[in-house]
Amino acid sequence: MFYHKGRFSRRSLLYDFPPEVEFSPFISYAKRKGLEIIELYSPMKSSFPEDTGKEEDLKLLVKDYYGEEEFVFFPSYTSMLLSLLWGITDVGDEILAPEPFPWELRWVCLALGITPVPVETSITNGWRLPLRDRIEKKISSRTRAIFFSSPQHLTGTVYTDEEKERLIFITRNYNLYLLVDRTFAEFGEEKEMPGMQDVNAVILDGFTRKFGEEGLSLLFTKNHYLLRLVSEITSILLPFRFISGKWLKMLAGAREALEEEKKRVEELNEKIYEEVGKRSEIFSIKSEGWREKVIGLPVEDTSRFCEFLLEEFSRDEKTLFLAPMRGMYPDKEKGRNEVLLRVFLEAEKLEEAFSILDEAIEKYGK
């Protein structure tokens, strides 16, 4: 609660903060009690520059890895979204996106006065896209773009060729921008989409996020006018755009490093679903994406359950940090029994975490 006589903006009070911020008081309380917090949801690590790199080196490495010579780079994923949406939308415009949204998209839309319109999906069918007529019903005269990621942020869903063709057809038919987020594309065997050359496509890539770190993000488009506009907007909104030597090292060894990371992620995903499969009261759909997974728990309100874990529960001086999905859907009543996992644990620690989760669910029910 803020105790200040000044007036706060309405949008600042409407904003859903990311889980690590929303639950920071509970995390601090658990740590003051001396508890070890096992993170089944791990925040992205901030990536600060260790040394200064050169833009010429960045351009050469991007061309080598992506095969693209023209791009705009950003110090974070959020700053990339902010500059792009600033350049293609006005106040009152709308962006179509399959739910659940990345929280960064919701924040930027709120900041710019635009509305993210959900294309409804559900955990029960693996978050598959609805048929074209149901998507088209969401389009209005204020719709400017369709945003999607494959693998999908949060759920890891990899869209089929037919689903991607569906989005391309709608984009072309209604003269919209197609914003394609490829942050975790390597993990879902994502291929280039046929037909993208016929639409106004923008490729977004949060490169360092593939390794669990916030940092270098890249925007590509064949629309040279848009590329120049976003670059000019960025120079005004975000004039501090360092190039970290760490980014350059990551890009230089990207192919080998991503292959190793992919193996680790696949092994971890198998272990998670092995643990989920042992428990009839926990539900999840196996995804093909990154480290993020959504699971359903046998509780009515996972927000309250996550507070309970940090405030009231412990086993052997240990507890868990999970992220409730409630704030990640536009409909506040949706996802009330779901939690988001973003896991960087070893197999043995993961087994312990699920064992603690079993006991916590049992005690919470009582």
Please identify, among 252, 285, 317, the residue that sits at the C-terminal boundary of a domain.
252
Q: Same domain, yes or no, for 233 and 104?
A: yes
The mean pLDDT value for 232-256 works out to 88
Note whether 102 and 116 are within 8 A (CB): no
- Tell whether 162 and 296 lie within a shared domain: no
Q: Is 2 a domain residue?
A: no
AA letter at 139:
I
Q: Does a structural domain hold residue 1?
A: no
Q: Are residues 289 and 359 in the same domain?
A: yes
Does residue 3 lie within any of the structural domains?
A: no
For helices 24-32 and 302-311, what crossing angle results, to 10°? Answer: 30
pLDDT at 142: 97
Evaluate whether 119 touches 129 at the Cβ level (below 8 Å): yes
Give me the CATH number covering residue 298.
Answer: 3.90.1150.10
Same domain for 145 and 121: yes
Residue 323's domain comprises: 10-45+255-365
The answer to whether the CB of 321 falls within 8 A of the CB of 38 is yes
Asked if residue 246 and residue 235 are part of one domain, the reply reads yes
Alpha-carbon torsion, ordered 81, 84, 88, 94, to 10 deg: -10
Q: Which residues pair with 292 in a beta bridge?
A: 342
Same domain, 56 and 98: yes
Residue 78 sits in the same domain as residue 213: yes
Of 252, 277, 308, the residue at which a domain comes to its end is 252
User: Are 175 and 323 within one domain?
Assistant: no
pLDDT (0 to 100) of residue 117: 96
Task: Determine the angle formed by the axes of helices 245-252 and 254-277, rounding to 10 degrees.
Answer: 80
The pLDDT score that the predictor gives to residue 285 is: 82
> Does residue 136 sit within a domain?
yes
Are both 132 and 70 inside the same structural domain? yes
User: What is the reported pLDDT for 289?
Assistant: 79
How do residues 192-239 score in pLDDT, each as one tens digit?
676 777 889 999 999 999 998 888 999 999 999 999 999 999 988 888
CATH code: domain of residue 219 = 3.40.640.10
Closest CA to 159 of 335, 266, 287: 287
Is 57 found in the same domain as 179?
yes
What is the number of domains present in the chain?
A: 2
* Residue 144: pLDDT over 50: yes
- Does 132 lie in the same domain as 143? yes
221, 252, 283: which is the final residue of a domain?
Answer: 252
Structure confidence at residue 326 (pLDDT): 82
Same-domain status, 86 and 220 = yes
Q: What is the pLDDT of residues 217-226, one digit of tens each?
A: 999 999 999 9
Task: Measure Cα distances from 209 to 70, 215, 218, 259 in Å.
Answer: 21, 7, 11, 15
Residue 291, domain member (yes or no): yes
Q: Is residue 143 part of a domain?
A: yes
- 145 found inside a domain: yes
